Amino acid sequence: MSKTLFDKIWEKHVVDTLSDGTIQLYIDRLYCHEVTSPQAFAGLRARGLKPFRPKQITCVPDHNIPTLHQDQPIKDPVSKKQVDTLMANAKEFGLTCYGLMHPKNGIVHVVGPEEGLTQPGMTIVCGDSHTSTHGAMGCVAFGIGTSEVEMVLATQCLTQRKPKTMRITIDGERKPGVTAKDIALYIISKMTTGGATGYFVEYAGSAIRHTTMEERLTICNLSIEMGARGGMIAPDEVTFAYLKDREFAPRGDEWKKKLNEWKQLNSDPDAHFDKEILFHAEDIEPMVTYGTNPGMGMAITGTIPTLESVPESGRISYKKSLDYMGFKAGEKMIGKPVDYVFLGSCTNGRIEDFRAFASIVKGKKKADSVTAWIVPGSWMVQRQIVAEGIDKILNEAGFELRQPGCSACLAMNDDKVPAGKYSVSTSNRNFEGRQGQGARTILVGPLVAAAAAITGKITDPRTLL
């Protein structure tokens, strides 16, 4: 029987199936960060248990670490306690942990792929919704809650219902100035913020095949923003070339053996999906969001939709959203003033994002009215930035490179946008208060972020290319 990529990986990890269809799923790799794991470790301890398969667990503090002076103790005592708790739990149970200033530290979803810990065919979970990122390498990866983290710690398994499958095909060739983030924001704007809930999404089509590995990570990262359980892309030569020789990638004969297995990981030509969606790459423009969920996005050249265009049941929420943002229906986004620019996060904190940002700001100056936070996704990215001289381009243009972490994406550290201020951000969520209480977030790709940082307003980056 023909199978989807998702089915092929999922079925290989089913330990047991209960009479009502609940599945006991085996998990190859668990990533832990400091915010959603302490209660799971405490629960484990209360039951008198230890991690069942410690070698399959990697811990990385990232959510509330500062992006300056990481060599010094964390000033916020509550943040410090969470990071210290993760380090202590890892030490007690013999788990690998890349703490602050460790050369492998960074955002867990940046670190996993770049270290070769994330590999095709795996099942991967983490107490973080953006775990969908790892699906870009051809695995089944999804976010879980803390009780589920405890399940995996205790048994390396999860109880799950099998999600439905959806294929989103993007055919055609994308236009210049359109980044992977724009593709993702376009898809989410069409699907809406809950439009893929209950589904596991496979991205396919010629526009996807022609993406780089890092672009795929960006696209899969945002799957959760339309409610999808996860997103994935069949591994191919792009995936294998990216993975080869990375720290934890298989080597020698083991690499050859794995490569043969990985080459089987694709949906059969006649595989059935519960839902099929088709988009055309030519229709995609650089994107911006104008509201308070990632589904509220549009082409940068467009106008904010009218209240009448929204279904009646959603109008109270729509109005509340525009009021929060200080925008009016029918307005253009181009030309709106910007106070903060954030480049970074598990969505857009990789080297290609910094190259893209630098390509716009090179030889120009940051607008005086803009505060910019430029935060690499990991120390590996930071080292690449320096090795390629991108730090010099940034410095000359008036930008300062900070230290890696989740930073202003969710503002658990000091990188908070003040109330009422507009933040043009390459992160993944524009929810009310996400980047600081009262902060107004406009989600964009790295090129739009760079154009905003230079001009101090929402600007089509194609006018600066």
- Judged by the rule CB under 8 A, the positions of this chain that interact with another protein are 15-16, 18-22, 24, 26, 35-36, 38-39, 42-43, 47, 49, 52, 63-64, 78-79, 81-82, 85, 127-129, 131, 143-148, 150-151, 154-159, 161, 163, 193-194, 197-198, 224, 227, 229, 293, 295, 313-314, 316-317, 320, 410-412, 419, 429, 431-434, 437-438
Which of 106, 128, 122 lies closest to 25 in space, CA to CA?
Answer: 122
d(CA 129, CA 409): 13
Q: Are 441 and 426 in contact (CB under 8 A)?
A: no
CB closer to another protein out of 138 and 163? 163
Q: What letter would DSSP give residue 378?
A: B
CB closer to another protein out of 194 and 335? 194
φ and ψ at residue 117, rounded to 5 degrees: -70, -35
Write down the least CB distance from residue 369 to another protein, Å.
23
CB closer to another protein out of 141 and 390? 141
Write down the least CB distance from residue 164 to another protein, Å.
11
Write down the least CB distance from residue 361 to another protein, Å.
29
Write down the least CB distance from residue 378 to another protein, Å.
21
Handedness of CA 431, 436, 440, 444 (dihedral sign): negative
Write down the least CB distance from residue 262 to another protein, Å.
15
d(CA 216, CA 336): 30
Write down the least CB distance from residue 23 to another protein, Å.
10
CB closer to another protein out of 241 and 419? 419
Pairing of strands 57-59, 29-32: parallel
Question: Which residues touch 462 (CB under 8 Å, ≥6 apart)?
Answer: 176, 177, 286
CB closer to another protein out of 148 and 460? 148
CB closer to another protein out of 177 and 349? 349
**Six token digits for residue 440:** 């107004």
Q: What letter would DSSP give residue 161?
A: P
Write down the least CB distance from residue 2 to another protein, Å.
22
- The per-type count for the chain, helices as H runs and strands as E runs, is 16, 18
CB closer to another protein out of 13 and 366? 13
CB closer to another protein out of 149 and 208? 149
Q: Are 325 and 298 in contact (CB under 8 A)?
A: no
CB closer to another protein out of 148 and 391? 148
CB closer to another protein out of 172 and 250? 250
Write down the least CB distance from residue 195 to another protein, Å.
9
Write down the least CB distance from residue 394 to another protein, Å.
27
The beta-strand segments (E) located in 257-399 are: 275-280, 287-289, 297-299, 340-343, 371-374
Measure CA 104 to chain center. 18
**Six token digits for residue 414:** 């000091």
Which of 412, 404, 408, 402 lies closest to 421 in space, CA to CA?
Answer: 408
CB closer to another protein out of 49 and 334? 49
Find where tokens 């294929």 sit.
Answer: 167
**Six token digits for residue 258:** 């794995």
Which of 134, 140, 142 lies closest to 112 in space, CA to CA?
Answer: 134
Q: Are 166 and 273 in contact (CB under 8 A)?
A: yes
Write down the least CB distance from residue 292 to another protein, Å.
8
d(CA 354, CA 296): 25
* Residue positions counted in the chain: 465
Write down the least CB distance from residue 166 to another protein, Å.
13
Name residue 14's beta-bridge partners: 25
